[in-house]
Amino acid sequence: MKKREEFVRGKFYPAERKDVEEMIENFLKIESPKKIDGEILGGIVPHAGYEFSGPSAVHFFNTLRGKDIETVVIVNPSHTGYGEAISLDTNEVWGSPMGDIEIDLDFEKELGIPYSKEAHKYEHSGEVMLPFLKYFIEGEFKIVPITMKIQTYKNAKYLAEKIDETAKKQKKKILLIASSDFSHYEREEVGYKLDQLAIDRILQFDSQGVESTVMEYNLSICGYGPIMTLLEYSKLAADDPKIEILRRGNSGENYPMEEVVDYITFLLYK
């Protein structure tokens, strides 16, 4: 099977399984994330190195314990500029120190979206989700990695509709992760205020408002396209979707720094 080898293994997260598990277990002890009743639709999850964003990300992944999930769709931004406006991966399996994970090829095919090996090969923002997923999801599951290079409301709505149509047609229990960090390299108080502008729109499921706010204030939220995709998907998948902020933090919590990157974890459920 064609396999994507890990690009940031040993950099963004530990290279060995036991070290990944130890790190996650430490996050759980420190953070004590809560359980959420209800069916999980997805989440907005940060994608930095685990030592920075892991304490925030673990709050989302902990909600997946005991959940029956067949396919995890991971929509991430492009940090490389490679690939199409929206790109699927050409491989059949993705590597992980926690064990390899198969791509849901049937789901991919039904989406009818272009493929690009380059869009995923050197992109970290989808890959970093895999060790967490393997740790918290007890049963077998597959993934559908999607890199979004052109982040617009139009593309997000189109992608959300394709994902929802495919899930319903194939009768699959899916989970959608929007991979995104928030304000980049701002003073903590400045980033907090800038993020709040977008958060106000996100909490209202206002995707067009997210796009216009990012453009108007030149916000450095790197995955606002995936975020809009998740919001639009949630409105299609549930009559009355719920949203909750699980944790709000930044890169300066463990390593004091003058300018920080913000990590905000959201849960969407019904």
Question: What does the pLDDT read at residue 118?
Answer: 97
pTM of the shown model: 0.97
CA distance 178 to 45: 6
Split the chain (270 residues) into runs of 10 and give each run's mean pLDDT. Answer: 97 98 98 90 98 98 96 98 98 98 98 97 98 96 98 98 98 98 97 98 98 98 98 98 97 93 98
Tokens linked to 270? 């019904």
CA distance 202 to 93: 33
Question: What does the pLDDT read at residue 37?
Answer: 83
What's the Cα-to-Cα distance from 188 to each of 124, 194, 249, rounded to whole Å? 24, 10, 10
Question: What does the pLDDT read at residue 254?
Answer: 83
The answer to whether the CB of 236 falls within 8 A of the CB of 159 is no
Instruction: Tell me the sheet residues that pair with 103.
Output: 143
What's the Cα-to-Cα distance from 78 to each of 114, 147, 201, rounded to whole Å? 15, 6, 23
What residues does each domain of the chain span? Answer: 3-269
Question: What does the pLDDT read at residue 35?
Answer: 84
pLDDT tens readout for residues 53-91: 999 999 999 999 999 999 999 999 999 999 999 999 999
Q: How many helices (H) and strands (E) does the chain have?
A: 10, 10
The answer to whether the CB of 185 falls within 8 A of the CB of 260 is yes
Question: What does the pLDDT read at residue 237?
Answer: 98
First to last CA, the chain: 36
Question: What does the pLDDT read at residue 36?
Answer: 85
CA distance 7 to 28: 26
pLDDT tens readout for residues 37-49: 889 999 999 999 9
CATH number of the structural domain 3-269 = 3.40.830.10
